[in-house]
Structure 1
């Protein structure tokens, strides 16, 4: 069990960057909404969240590979 604990380092740099990226998106995207009546988001805005999640998933998948 000590070897498993030694291999698992907890939150790495990639995990911290991914979490900060999501937090920044969640904080700044609502600021981009224009004042006035609320309208449905544009298609490009709808694709930002799943696209960013896919990029983070691929990044973390590549970062976790051991050679």
Structure 2
């Protein structure tokens, strides 16, 4: 039987860098005192859900 390899592939590294970049640069777009707008509040969980779905699909073994 072939042993399946799991771990950090190219897709996982790219997704992690995207999350890191968003966490680093998205707050710079907000005002210094203003609370986040409704689209920004909605964007964060939608983006995180998309990353989780992408990682779950990317981690499935190819048959």
Provide TM-score, normalisation by structure 2. 0.77
Q: Which residue of 2 aligns with 1:54?
A: 49
Aligned pairs for 1:23-62 (under 5 A) are 23-35=20-32, 38-62=33-57
Query: How many residues end up aligned between the 2 structures?
Result: 61
Give the aligned CA root-mean-square deviation in angstroms: 1.8
Q: Which residue of 1 aligns with 2:4?
A: 7
Structure with more of its chain in helix, by fraction: 1
Q: CA deviation at 1:34?
A: 2.7
- Any unmatched runs of 5+ in structure 1? none
* Secondary structure of 1:41's aligned partner: coil
Task: Spell out structure 1 runs of 4+ moving beyond 3 A.
Answer: none
How far apart, CA to CA, are the structure 2 residues paired with 1:23 and 1:53? 11
Q: Which residue of 2 aligns with 1:19?
A: 16
